[in-house]
Amino acid sequence: MNEGTETDSDADAPAAEYLDDFELPDAWSTQLPEDPLDKTLDELENSSAAIHSRENGQSSISEDGECSIHVEKDLFSCVLLAYKRQFKGQSSGSYIARWQVTAHSTTSFIRKVWNLAKEHLNREVIFDVKADGTTSPVWAENESSSEKEFGKFVLFQSGRRHYVLEKLTESSNLLQSWRNKEITVLLHVYSLSVSNRTVWSSVKENLIDPSERDRSGAATTQAVIGLADELRSVHGKHLDVHGMAWSFWANSILNGPAHLRESLKDHPPQHLAHLFRVKEGLHVNAIRRELSVAHSVNNSYHEEVVALRQVFDVVESNVESLNASLKMFKIRLEALELRDRLSDSMINAMETAVKVQEDDLGQELKSKIIDMEDMDHM
């Protein structure tokens, strides 16, 4: 099975008892704490991977002593149990799915995991350092992340140990040691920069739920009116709409995904598009400007078309004159050919009429000639 498969049923979610919180030395750091047993465990896993590779494929020792694996197909294969995390160390995130991923290379493995995970990731949260040294969460410039940024969102968990994405690219031994095992994938939907619960509270307060809410959790009337006024001031010049439609649009934004709120201000949502239309005056003026430009473009071709017509008329006249000359030349040529044939026939007839022939006198004289022996020259 070369492609990742996904099962979304929460009923099939495996137990995640080992997904406990872990302490971090720096609340704003994206680095995991160093464990003094990491080196020993890495050596054990590498040794296990080498033994497993000898059982399932061929291996060779390189010049630097590392074991390189040679398996023609599906070198890496494991089951990934995917969970969502709002911050690093969270133990109560929701279960996503069980993914079976197989690949022939580390790059291919990471790409397949990315393709399965990207729809569950939100806009990256970064932290802006102010002049006084304090930090505040802000949205990253890009609304969606790319595969190159996947490492900012994902942690792999085997047992109680966590691995960043870079660990998989450093050596294939780690992935090989996971062959036919169940590995937990923790997808941090706002990035690993949200490093603990305290940081998450700040992110939630400043970015996720910045608007005032009533007891039911909906945006307050004051927040809706404020955003509606903002939308009206930005789009009111070119949109003709009833006053309530601005409130509908504002309410849709405030209840939409937090990381998409800025982009939702650019144009009305699809389900409210019928309430908004472009102002007729602006629309007509825009059409007039476009027609004026079209006339200018069309006029730029007019002189060239006239010039081409004149050239064509001259060429056509010359061609007609040439055709007449060619026709006359053909008639003269055919007359000369006929005259040549008649002259040839007349000469041949005259040549036949004056042919030299022997007459009676010649024949008589010929008969009187006798042969005599030459006595004078003996």
Q: Report the C-alpha gap between 201 and 220 in whole angstroms.
A: 21
Residue in 89, 143, 103 with CA at minimum distance from that of residue 3: 103
CA distances to 2, 145, 167, 185 from 108, in Å: 10, 18, 15, 17
Average model confidence (pLDDT) across the chain = 74
At 38 the pLDDT is 54
Q: Report the C-alpha gap between 8 and 99 in whole angstroms.
A: 10
CA distances to 19, 46, 160 from 183, in Å: 12, 17, 11
Burial class from Cβ neighbours inside 10 Å (0-12, 13-18, 19+) for residue 163 reads: middle
pLDDT at residue 144 is higher than 70: yes
Say which residues have a Cβ less than 8 Å from residue 25's Cβ, sequence separation at least 6.
33
Q: Among residues of the chain, what percentage have pLDDT more than 70?
A: 66
Please spell the DSSP secondary structure of 162-178, one letter per residue: EEEHHHHHH-HHHHHHT
Pairing state between β 135-139 and 95-103:
unpaired
DSSP state of 97: E
Cβ contact 113:133 at 8 Å: no
pLDDT, mean of residues 49-64: 44
pLDDT at residue 121 is higher than 60: yes
Cβ contact 181:158 at 8 Å: yes
pLDDT at residue 156 is higher than 90: yes
pLDDT at residue 313 is higher than 80: yes
Q: Report the C-alpha gap between 277 and 12 in whole angstroms.
A: 48
Q: Which two tokens stand for residue 23?
A: 């302490």
Pairing state between β 182-188 and 154-158:
antiparallel
What digits encode the pLDDT tens for the residues 184-238? Answer: 999 998 889 888 888 888 888 777 765 555 555 555 667 667 777 777 777 766 7
Cβ contact 176:69 at 8 Å: yes
pLDDT at residue 178 is higher than 80: yes
Q: Which two tokens stand for residue 112?
A: 């397949």
DSSP state of 258: G
Q: Provide the β-strand partners of residue 369.
A: none
Domain boundaries, the chain: 10-30+41-201, 212-278
What is the band of 71 on the pLDDT scale with cuts at 50, 70, 90?
very low
pLDDT at residue 293 is higher than 50: yes
CA dihedral of 194, 195, 198, 202, whole degrees rounded to 10: -20
At 200 the pLDDT is 86
At 115 the pLDDT is 93
pLDDT, mean of residues 15-20: 42
Residue in 116, 119, 193, 180 with CA at minimum distance from that of residue 153: 193
